Amino acid sequence: MKNYFIARSRRVRSTPYTSRIENQGVTAYSVYNHMLLPAAFGSLEDSYNHLKEHVQVWDVAGERQVEISGKDSAKLVQLMTCRDLSKSKVGRCYYCPIIDDKAGLINDPVILKLGEDRWWVSIADSDVILFAKGLAIGNNFDVKIFEPNVYILAVQGPKSFKLMENIFGKKITEMKFFGFDYFEFSGAKHLIARSGWSKQGGYEIYVEDTKSGLALYDHLFELGKEFNVKPGCPNLIERIESGLLSYGNDIDNNDNPLECGLDKYVNLDNDIDFLGKEKLQEIRKLGIIKKLRGVKIETKEIDISKSIKLFDEKNNEIGELRSGAYSPHFEKVIGIAMIFKPYWSISQPFKIQINGETFSGKICDLPFI
């Protein structure tokens, strides 16, 4: 695929780290929540190998926060997600599908419970703030909704634990997965969660104090030398192997959470009130007719800029490939596809056209690794 430049403007917002990553060799950007998201530092495969062995620092400021606070905040947050948050605890992160009244996915954020009446919805790429505002206004909820100045730095990779321990002490290594706490650095308190968009382990630092955050950024690279730290970004190969879904890529508003394998975040047998509940109960009763599955394709190269249809041997359309990358681990292309019911069983063979050539593939389970 030919390469094109990204046009810069204020509308596609920079982050506090943009000038640093540009000095460090970022080569490509995507746009995420109207903000620059680094997409490559040279070779995707080199970055993948490095991420699985060492530690990387990522500018993921594009993961914007929607802060919802006030008397009715818990009610509003629960209204937006099919995951039961009635027993949620302050200091914990919750992966939550956000759906509309037709059960179509609107986003799949991690929600942080900062207090009984204060939440951060750490969003994927759609303006959840507008949905929250519309619902709050329409329902006359007593809430305050805004986008705070939070710019996340992710520290990911197996050596992230040692690096973060060297800066913040032993306490940070004792934090459980999807827990968060506050840690001091250079005169500011930073909310740090044990989370991140890779399966290689690590943390996300919710930087509110930009000055201290930039000092921390530099300190991570200074102290990280002994762990072979590098700048990075969410890695397409690693996240597909790990089965981490990407809103807009693998899932969108035409899909419901049951079709996306998010069953464990769908709580229907209770008396909590959320949008799309009746619709989801109906869908569960009737059964879904398409489902996200893994695929393996007998080729070594793919570039996906839109869905690619998949066909069985009799040329029946069996679904569409939505994300894909060459996996050095499997030595072939792997991907995430939405597959129609009769075809979603494991090992179902299919054909796919990539740049005019036909390749064969097979359906498999998610995650790959």
Rounded Cα distance between 338 and 329, Å, is 23
Q: With contact defined as beta carbons under 8 Å apart, do 129 and 147 qualify?
A: yes
The reply on whether position 106 binds a copy of itself by CB under 8 A is yes
Closer residue to a copy of itself in complex, CB, 134/342: 134
Q: What one-letter code names the amino acid at 184?
A: E
The reply on whether position 275 binds a copy of itself by CB under 8 A is yes
367 phi and psi angles, rounded to 5 deg: -75, 170
Closer residue to a copy of itself in complex, CB, 34/341: 34
Tokens coding 76: 């509003």
Given 122, 156, 235, 246, the residue binding a copy of itself (CB under 8 A): 246
Work out the burial of residue 315: count CB atoms within 10 Å of its CB; fewer than 13 is exposed, 13-18 middle, 19 or more buried. exposed
Closer residue to a copy of itself in complex, CB, 175/233: 233
Q: With contact defined as beta carbons under 8 Å apart, do 222 and 206 qualify?
A: no
The reply on whether position 77 binds a copy of itself by CB under 8 A is no
CB of 15 to a copy of itself, least distance (A): 10
CA distances from 358 to 308, 351, 363 (A): 12, 7, 16
CB of 352 to a copy of itself, least distance (A): 15
Rounded Cα distance between 100 and 120, Å, is 19
Closer residue to a copy of itself in complex, CB, 271/303: 303
Work out the burial of residue 156: count CB atoms within 10 Å of its CB; fewer than 13 is exposed, 13-18 middle, 19 or more buried. buried
- Beta-carbon contacts of 73 under 8 Å, excluding residues fewer than 6 positions away, are 117, 118, 119, 143
The reply on whether position 168 binds a copy of itself by CB under 8 A is no
The reply on whether position 305 binds a copy of itself by CB under 8 A is yes
Q: Candidates 201-209, 213-221, 303-311, 353-361: pick the segment binding a copy of itself (CB under 8 A).
A: 303-311
Rounded Cα distance between 301 and 325, Å, is 7
Tokens coding 164: 């973060």
Closer residue to a copy of itself in complex, CB, 29/344: 29
197-216 residues near a copy of itself, rule: CB under 8 A: none
281 phi and psi angles, rounded to 5 deg: -65, -40
The reply on whether position 247 binds a copy of itself by CB under 8 A is yes
The reply on whether position 5 binds a copy of itself by CB under 8 A is yes
CB of 260 to a copy of itself, least distance (A): 14
Closer residue to a copy of itself in complex, CB, 101/174: 101
CB of 164 to a copy of itself, least distance (A): 28
129 to 148: interface string for a copy of itself, x by CB under 8 A: -xxxxxxxxxxx--------
What's 62-108 look like in SS3? CCCEEEEECCCHHHHHHHHECCCCCCCCCCEEEECCEECCCCCEEEC
β-bridge partners, 59:
153
Residue with tokens 């540009």: 22
- Rg (C-alpha) for the chain, rounded Å, is 21
CB of 37 to a copy of itself, least distance (A): 8
Q: Candidates 62-70, 123-131, 169-177, 209-217: pick the segment binding a copy of itself (CB under 8 A).
A: 123-131
Closer residue to a copy of itself in complex, CB, 7/286: 7
Rounded Cα distance between 260 and 98, Å, is 13
312-351 residues near a copy of itself, rule: CB under 8 A: 322-323
Q: With contact defined as beta carbons under 8 Å apart, do 98 and 80 qualify?
A: yes
The reply on whether position 355 binds a copy of itself by CB under 8 A is no
Count of residues in contact with a copy of itself, rule CB under 8 A: 55
Asked if the peptide bond before residue 367 counts as cis, ω within 30 degrees of 0, the response is yes
The reply on whether position 354 binds a copy of itself by CB under 8 A is no
Rounded Cα distance between 80 and 75, Å, is 9
The reply on whether position 20 binds a copy of itself by CB under 8 A is no
The reply on whether position 3 binds a copy of itself by CB under 8 A is yes
Closer residue to a copy of itself in complex, CB, 12/172: 12
The residues binding a copy of itself (CB under 8 A) are 1-14, 18, 22, 26-31, 34, 39-40, 100-101, 106, 125-128, 130-140, 246-249, 275, 303-307, 322-323
